[in-house]
């Protein structure tokens, strides 16, 4: 029975990952409207820098780090930093599952993309 359970668990993990949607930071920025309030998965390199204003204007709570991949970079806040199993260091490669929230101005134009990490997994170098 144990091998069947492990196989079923692996299938469930794959389905869950696909449902959340692996995407690049560039794709996220281009499809922010369709990602609003969705969970997405991003991969990239951690840069620990002081919080700065988002490119589109404004701030997203307390920014914990900047995530960068080959298509761009975005600031990431950590929903529950006390649950972070392994501390983040400059240059760490990570996979981030995050909820996206898009803020709009009065003209209904997106002005801010907030990325709030719900899970962070360290990847091999």
**CA 72 distance to own-chain centroid:** 13
- The CA distance from 106 to 32, in Å, is 17
pTM (predicted TM-score): 0.72
Joined together, the tokens standing for residue 32 give 């922010």
Predicted confidence band of residue 34 (pLDDT cuts 50, 70, 90) = confident
**What is the per-residue pLDDT across 41-74, written as a single tens digit (0 to 9) for each?**
999 999 997 655 444 455 676 668 999 999 999 9
Domains and CATH numbers, the chain: 22-122 (2.40.50.140)
Q: Which residue has the tokens 């029975």?
A: 1
pLDDT at 95: 95
Residues 6+ apart with CB under 8 A from 34: none
Average pLDDT over residues 72-90: 81
pLDDT at 20: 52
């Amino acid at each position: 029975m144990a091998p069947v359970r492990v196989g079923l668990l692996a299938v469930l993990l794959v389905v869950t990952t696909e449902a959340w949607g692996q995407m690049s930071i560039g794709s996220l920025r281009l499809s922010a409207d369709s990602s609003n309030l969705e969970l997405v998965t991003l991969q990239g390199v951690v840069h620990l820098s002081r919080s700065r204003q988002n490119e589109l204007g404004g701030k997203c709570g307390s920014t914990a780090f900047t995530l960068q991949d080959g298509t761009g970079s975005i600031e990431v806040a950590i929903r529950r930093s006390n649950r972070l199993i392994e501390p983040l260091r400059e240059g760490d490669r990570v996979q981030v599952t995050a909820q996206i929230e898009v803020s709009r101005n009065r003209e209904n134009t997106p002005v801010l993309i907030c990325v709030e990490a719900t899970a962070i997994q360290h990847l091999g170098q």
